[in-house]
Structure 1
Amino acid sequence: MRLTLIALLLSSVASGSGTVLAADLTLEPREIVETKAVYGQVQPRNSIPARARIGGTVVELSVTEGDQVETGDVLARVKDDKIGFQIDAVNAQLSALEATLRDVNVELERAERLLRSGTTTAQRLDQLTTQRDVTKNQILAAEAQRSLLEQQAAEGAILAPADGMIVTVPVTEQSVVMPGETIATVAGGGLFLRLSIPERHASDLRQGAGINIALSEGPAVGRLAKIYPAIEGGRVTADVEIDGLDMRYIGARLPVDVPVGTRQGLFVPSETLTTRVGVDFVRVRVNEALVERVVVAGDTQRIDGEDLTEIISGLQPGDIVVTQ
């Protein structure tokens, strides 16, 4: 094996035309982006709680985690029995006032007839007219109070505040809730990735930079949409916008390559590398000869629509690589 390797290295010099062909590649350093591997967490753009507007008992719960809802859908109903009793009391009060109004109207008609015949006074007629107006206003006030109570009862319906998916339902039927308590949380408005990056890379982050993301269906590219100025726990928070995130799992973690700087590197087309007995070779032109150089190859990247392999050692800027 050692003799074979030595023979291959000794045979690396091959004769050939010294003319530099147009297809040959003169190596020049390329600027490449250094990345930091982190995890991003899937977050909804809007996370809106659907809250109870009145206190009472949850008598109906029509959603569970994972359900899709639209704005205005009824998620649950809260009932306060006291409101029903108050409405009954107002209805009874209205019945009494309406009966009083009927009696006042009858007395007022009789007083008008007696006044025409001269057997009663105008003062009595004025008293009955005032009593009728007061009773009417009392009826209006009672009806307004009943409308208020009916509106409070209607507010027992918990409505979806936005289109989206139900992510949490912290209550069950027959639970007792207070006004303002969360009945369900709706995630909507699309998804984004939230990153937590070590603060030593904060100065290298650039808003709008492309972010490579590994999705289950394949690699994707997102955009660094927002960098938050506050550093907490030695980490910078940033948001990445990307299409095609799976809405089924809120909080899922995805591997992300964040650009944190640049460096110079030498790249050759991947097809120009030849591997024999575990050693990589690249053909270059030296004066009037073709020479196979032993190189140490790095990662292969897709740059400008072409697969290029980084050469860590073995070549230098200005070398002419034979591509055909």
Structure 2
Amino acid sequence: MHVFFRLSFLLGLCLVLAHPLPARAQGGPAAVATERVAMRTMSETISVFGEVVSGRQSAVAARVAGIVTEMPLSVGDRVSEGDVLTRLDTELLEIDRALAQAEIEIAEAGVTVATAQRDRAEKALRRAEALKANSTIAEAQFDERSGDYNSALGAEQQARARILAAETALAQMEYRLKNATIRAPFDAVVLQVGAEKGEYIAAGAEVATLLDLGATEVEANVPARFVSALRPDLVVPARTDAGGALNLALRAILPTEFAATRTRPVRFAITDTSADFAVGQSVTLDVPVSAPRDLVVVPKDALVQGQNGWSVFLNVDGKAQPRNVEIGAAMGGGFEVLSGLQPGDEVVVRGNERLRPGQDIAPSGGAPRGDGGGGSEPGNAAAEAEETPEPETPDAPEDAESASDTEQQG
């Protein structure tokens, strides 16, 4: 028995020596971490789902008919504006162009002949007019000279019209030759190839489908009652389903509304393309639902919940001073302060779980290493917050499942 009691005494002594910190810390200040209450320009936001859509997707068509002689494309290729997509056979078109050029030369020769005939007829008419004035020519002869002149003048005009027709035919041949080479109308990615080498294609047949990545946008259906909060210069952060970040800029609010969901389609331009995305991919946008306003914000870890509501400990001349606060909406790591605090107040964010009013504290920039003055090591306020429900946010939107606030840039 004596041996047993002696062993128990020694074991208890070892346990006391092994944990001397609480006993030694009883008389010293509690080590805590503090932060300043800040004034921030905030805007309440809701998370809405959007989709990456194509601003420009074109099925490039052949403008002329012909047999494909060259098709250098494959699906997935990137092309620049002006790159060759398809070439058509031009042998017959070149023959037709030569024929049109010959027709122009024939028409020009016809104009030369018609002009000479018109000159002769005009001179004969002028002589007849002089003779008629002296009454030395019969009326029938004068009418004949006048008729000849009018016929020559008409023939000349007809010859000139043949030149215009021949020039038009040549322009048509030039158009066909030019468009026998089909080029990319903009920088794009090839989504589909619609023709093969040796294949005959008609005018209007699809050659390739191109997607302009530079014109890609995000379309989101925003609740109609929040559309008035959207500004023309609005920048909205977004996340892809793969975790990539995108920056979006409001481009247009479409003048349509879905009656079933009471939402309106809104288009956003993608201003930051560093993240990998694809047409049809889902993205989540943090869309503001109110105008920016200046708010007093307290860090979340500073809040302690008690029977009378929420409170914080302030550092007042090195002592813990409790203060009841009224809080509002969540503000991304903090909460809006409706009453009880002012900007610049220094609140305890670590080591505040077991502080006593008036207790001496030793603020530091990091997590506390001593106890809170109550005989045990301070816990982590963030961990305790997981067990304590967050305060209600009465100003949150009715249908926003994940309402939050983001700080406005600029």
- 2:234 pairs with 1:211: no
Deviations 1:183-231 (A, max 9, x none): 432405454333457xxx5545753364242597x75352462554423
SS at match of 1:151: helix
Alignment check: 8 A CA contact 1:66 1:248 kept: no
Residue in 1 that maps onto 2:14? none
Which one of 300, 320, 338 corresponds to residue 267 of structure 1?
A: 300
RMSD, aligned CA: 5.7
Alignment check: 8 A CA contact 1:35 1:259 kept: yes
Deviations 1:123-166 (A, max 9, x none): 8985667645543442343233322332244234434333x223
Which one of 285, 292, 296 corresponds to residue 355 of structure 2?
A: 285
Partners of 1:232 and 1:34 in 2: how far apart?
23
Partners of 1:157 and 1:235 in 2: how far apart?
49
Alignment check: 8 A CA contact 2:240 2:283 kept: yes
SS at match of 1:185: strand
Name which one, 1 or 2, has greater alpha-carbon Rg. Answer: 2
Change (3 A) 1:267 1:242: farther
Change (3 A) 1:123 1:182: same
- 2:257 pairs with 1:230: yes
- 2:401 pairs with 1:311: no
Alignment check: 8 A CA contact 1:74 1:160 kept: yes
Change (3 A) 1:220 1:290: farther
Letter in 2 for 1:165: A
Deviations 1:31-89 (A, max 9, x none): 99675474x5434444345343334444433444331312x444334568886675566
Partners of 2:268 and 2:239 in 1: how far apart?
10
How far has the Cα of 1:106 moved from its partner?
Answer: 8.8
How far has the Cα of 1:251 moved from its partner?
Answer: 1.5
Partners of 2:203 and 2:389 in 1: how far apart?
73
SS at match of 2:188: strand
Change (3 A) 1:167 1:203: farther
Paired-residue identity, %: 17
More strand per residue: 1 or 2? 1
Which one of 154, 168, 189 corresponds to residue 166 of structure 1?
A: 189
Alignment check: 8 A CA contact 2:299 2:349 kept: no
Listed as ranges, the matches of 1:1-324 within 5 Å are 15=26, 24=34, 36=47, 38=49, 40-64=50-74, 65-70=76-81, 72-78=82-88, 87=97, 90=100, 93-94=103-104, 97=107, 126=149, 131=155, 134-162=158-186, 164-173=187-196, 174-179=199-204, 181=206, 183-195=208-220, 203=225, 206-207=229-230, 208=234, 210-213=236-239, 220=245, 222-223=247-248, 225=250, 226-228=252-254, 229-231=256-258, 234=261, 236=263, 237-245=265-273, 250-251=278-279, 253=281, 255-256=283-284, 258-259=286-287, 267-268=300-301, 283-287=353-357, 288=359, 290-291=373-374, 297=382, 311-313=385-387
Letter in 2 for 1:267: K
Alignment check: 8 A CA contact 2:237 2:285 kept: yes
Alignment check: 8 A CA contact 2:249 2:271 kept: no
Residue in 2 that maps onto 1:117? none
How far has the Cα of 1:285 moved from its partner?
Answer: 2.4
Change (3 A) 1:166 1:144: same
Partners of 1:130 and 1:257 in 2: how far apart?
74
Letter in 1 for 2:385: I
- The number of residues matched between the two structures is 279
Residue in 1 that maps onto 2:362? none
Change (3 A) 1:248 1:52: farther
Partners of 2:78 and 2:356 in 1: how far apart?
69
Change (3 A) 1:44 1:84: same
Letter in 2 for 1:290: G
Partners of 1:55 and 1:238 in 2: how far apart?
41
**Long gaps (5+) in structure 2:** 1-18, 123-143, 291-296, 303-332, 334-347, 360-371, 392-410
Partners of 1:220 and 1:110 in 2: how far apart?
85
SS at match of 2:172: helix
Q: TM-score, normalised by structure 1?
A: 0.55
Alignment check: 8 A CA contact 1:52 1:183 kept: no
How far has the Cα of 1:171 moved from its partner?
Answer: 1.1
Farther-moved stretch of structure 1 (57-66 vs 90-99): 90-99
Partners of 2:30 and 2:381 in 1: how far apart?
27
Alignment check: 8 A CA contact 2:189 2:210 kept: yes
How far has the Cα of 1:254 moved from its partner?
Answer: 5.3
Q: TM-score, normalised by structure 2?
A: 0.46
Residue in 2 that maps onto 1:307? none
Deviations 1:264-311 (A, max 9, x none): 9961289966xxxxxxx754522237356767747xxxxxxxxxxx92
**Long gaps (5+) in structure 1:** 1-7, 113-120, 274-280, 299-309, 318-324
Change (3 A) 1:195 1:98: closer
